[in-house]
A = this chain, B = another copy of it.
Amino acid sequence: MSLKHSLLVLLSGQPSTGYELSQKYKKAIGFFWQASHQQIYKQLKVLTEEGFLTFEEQRQQGKPDTKRYQITGEGLDELKRWLSSEVKPAKTNDALLVMLYAGTHVDRAVLVKEIQRHKALHEKNLKKLEAIQDLYFSLGKDQQKEYRFPYLTLKRGLLAEKAWLEWATEVIDELSDPNHDLE
């Protein structure tokens, strides 16, 4: 598993609190790694027990105390070890495609509506990614170089969403065509 390693990656950049990390999962790397705040807080505890992280407690007014975690030397070693290991290809479990596969059992209008709902979500997602890309393009050359690797992953997200949308558009067209069954 790599929740562990994605946390180490994020913390290798800068010390962060659980909340800040969970924001990064939502915004920066959410399109290729997702984790809930419950998972994150628990895993931070585990990683600390394993010696890969340490934290400082900070009191805040009106808010619960917070722990700012940072990676240890051991943590960095573990991260580097993992970065040279072989990882498994991402596994996909896509309920929408299961539905479509069984399309003969459903009313076509219902099916098309559900695909359209997903299409709207993917469009929203694509816009978010494009906004990040615009931000990247607006950086100076040096900064672009600094964010080169994140940018390569962003590109993946952009291409993946575009490919998804092209497919969905085709499918919706085909399933919406009233003449389709008639010949």
Q: Which residues of A contact B (CB under 8 A)?
A: 2, 5-6, 9, 12, 29, 31-34, 79-80, 83-84, 86-107, 110-111, 114, 117-118, 121-122, 148-150, 152-153, 155-156, 159-160, 162-164, 166-167, 170-171, 174
Contact = CB atoms under 8 A, between A and B. Distances in A.
B98 A6 contact: yes
B174 A167 contact: no
Contact of A95 (B5, B118, B163): B5
Chain A contact surface mostly: helix
Contacts of A103: 148-149, 152
Given A87-B114, A171-B152, A32 B2 contact: no
A102 B103 CA distance: 41
What 8 A-B pairs have minimum CB-CB distances, sorted nearest first? A103-B149, A163-B163, A87-B95, A90-B94, A32-B97, A9-B102, A83-B106, A32-B94
